[in-house]
């Protein structure tokens, strides 16, 4: 069956360091991969989209890579700040119709 795995353990990181999150998938050939940020009690907020024919995307301090051979996406937050503390979700779609499957998310805690 299709499976999306994100590290369930919280990532604790010191301010100023780079946080790296993984999103692994099995039995899947996603055409689109999105990353979202979710704060407690709130809805997810879109961060980045990457397509299957793209290797890397950047937006300000954020970078996402997509390796279809390894079946993995990496999400990087450089120069992390306490305000980056949140849960980060990856979402995959195999078609163009907006039907995504989400991972359970990884919590990031940035300490001063």
Partner 1 sequence: DGGITQSPKYLFRKEGQNVTLSCEQNLNHDAMYWYRQDPGQGLRLIYYSQIVNDFQKGDIAEGYSVSREKKESFPLTVTSAQKNPTAFYLCASSIVAPTGPSNQPQHFGDGTRLSIL
- The answer to whether the beta carbons of residues 1 and 27 sit under 8 Å apart is yes
Is residue 28 close enough to count as binding partner 1 by CB under 8 A?
A: no
Question: Which is nearer to partner 1, 17 or 51 (by Cβ)?
Answer: 51
Residue among 17, 18, 31, 56 that touches partner 1 (CB under 8 A): 31
Could you please report the per-residue DSSP string of 5-44? Answer: EE--S-EEEETTSPEEEEEEEES---SEEEEEEE-TTS--
Binding segment toward partner 1, per CB under 8 A, in 11-19, 42-50, 56-64, 75-83:
42-50
> Which residues of this chain interact with partner 1, rule CB under 8 A?
4, 8, 31-32, 34, 41-46, 49, 51, 89, 91, 93, 95-105
């Amino acid at each position: 069956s299709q499976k999306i795995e994100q590290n369930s353990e919280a990532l604790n990181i010191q301010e100023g360091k780079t946080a790296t999150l993984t999103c692994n998938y099995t039995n899947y050939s996603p055409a689109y991969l999105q990353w979202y940020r979710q704060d407690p009690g709130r809805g997810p907020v879109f961060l980045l989209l990457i397509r299957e024919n793209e290797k890397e995307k950047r937006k300000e301090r954020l970078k996402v890579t997509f390796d279809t051979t390894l079946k993995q996406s990496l999400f990087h937050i450089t120069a992390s700040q306490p305000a980056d503390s949140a849960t980060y979700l990856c979402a995959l779609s195999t078609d163009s119709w907006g039907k995504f499957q989400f991972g359970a998310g990884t919590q990031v805690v940035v300490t001063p």
